[in-house]
Amino acid sequence: MASLLEELSQRALDLGVPLSVQLDVTYRCNERCVHCYLDHDDHGEMSTAEVRGVLDQLADAGVFFLCLSGGEVLMRQDFFPILEHARALLFAVKIKTNAFMIREREADRFRDLGVESVQVSIYSHRPEVHDSITRLPGSLERSIAGARLLRSRGIKVTIANVLMRQNMSDYKGVEALAHEVGAHFTIDPTITPRMDGDRSILALGIRSEALRQVFRDPGLVGDVKEFCAPPPPANEDALEELPCSAGHTFCYLSPYGDVYPCVQFPLPCGNVRKQKFAEIWQRSLALNEVRSIRARDLPVCSACGHVSSCTRCPGLAYMEGDMRGPSPQDCEKSEARSGVPSAYRLAGNQVRRAPGLVQIGARSGRLLVAG
């Protein structure tokens, strides 16, 4: 299956096809997670008719994988009509939800409409910790109940655990809970600046010492000796590699019709309320600039020993001020994985962060997957 997906991705890249798209249908949410980067007010999200029209355009452009996310998708009363239209267009649909609002009826609809998978964020196996992060009493119990209902319908569920100071010691408990539910498990140490530019939530990120502990946990990464090894030397192939799929075979659409290379890469590229999606995808100067960049074009990273193994996120680098520069957070992750300093650190630079804390990771390159 992996080779088939790789072949499909390469074919899409060669043809300039947007194979995958994430569409956030709303930023509204019933939770108020302490680390969330979104503005949860509705500033004029697309109507049902507009969303359907966008889905038609995505299908015409060749999109196959569609992720519907938010906010909380079920905050939209028209979510199931939107989902019905997406499945009628034969998208392979993944949904991100906190599962708080999923009852028997919603689980049945997900099953009947052939949803490929559902991702549910769980921050701790302890209610007092999870609920303090979501700031919604009873959210752990309700979210797990929703995940169980989905699994009982045969739907693939992934429990996603974002690491931060409040829940750093709980990832093994969340993994055990995922296995008990029958779900897959992912862990991600990413805390993202707010969309309005507020960076204060970066103070929630885990300490670099704790990150090293995660990377050396045999239960998560397997053979620690093999995993925590010096990176392989760079070669010409590595220098010609694309930074990631953002803007190449993947892009992100906001509830307001804005198009970006990725949800983690807020570089404005156009708006589907003003232009057709295909026109933006093919002609956007911003997207074409993103597509022109190879690893060898990155002044610092191209000379770094981690260039062939780093999960550098160009979106995080962009938010640091230069999408051709290093992502200091990912430099920290590479160092935690291998114990070898990055070129960025060797040049005397320090990660810009709250005192003693670090933002690590990239949504485009998840740290661990188990289950």
Q: Backbone dihedral region of 323: left (phi > 0), alpha (psi from -120 to 50 degrees) or beta?
A: alpha
Per-residue pLDDT of 170-225, as tens digits, reads 999 999 999 999 999 998 887 887 877 777 887 888 877 777 777 777 766 554 44
Whole-number Å distance between alpha carbons of 42 and 128: 29
Q: What is the pLDDT of residue 11?
A: 92
- pLDDT, average across residues 346-350: 68
Burial class (CB in 10 A: 0-12, 13-18, 19+), 26: buried
Which residue type is seen at 262?
Answer: C
Residue 24 CA from chain centroid, whole number: 12
pLDDT digits (tens, 9 = 90+) for 225-247: 444 445 555 566 777 777 789 99
Q: What is the pLDDT of residue 73?
A: 98
Looking at residue 350, its pLDDT comes to 54
* % of the chain residues with pLDDT over 70: 87
pLDDT digits (tens, 9 = 90+) for 104-163: 999 999 999 999 999 999 999 999 999 999 999 999 999 999 999 999 999 999 999 999
pTM over 0.75: yes
Residue 368 has pLDDT above 70, yes or no: no
| Residue 277 in this model has a pLDDT that exceeds 90 | yes
Kindly report which listed range (32-41, 92-101, 195-204) carries the lowest average pLDDT score.
195-204
Higher pLDDT, 313 or 123: 123
Residue with tokens 């190449």: 248
Residue 72, pLDDT > 90, answer yes
pLDDT of residue 139: 98
Residue 116, pLDDT score? 97
pLDDT attached to residue 363: 32
The whole-number pLDDT of residue 130 equals 98
Q: Residue 353: what pLDDT?
A: 39
What is the rounded distance in angstroms from the CA atom of residue 179 to the CA atom of residue 199?
34
The whole-number pLDDT of residue 231 equals 56
Phi–psi pair at 349, nearest 5 degrees: -85, 155
Q: What mean pLDDT, rounded, does the chain reach?
A: 86
345: confidence class by pLDDT, cuts 50, 70, 90: confident
CB 170 within 8 A of CB 164: no
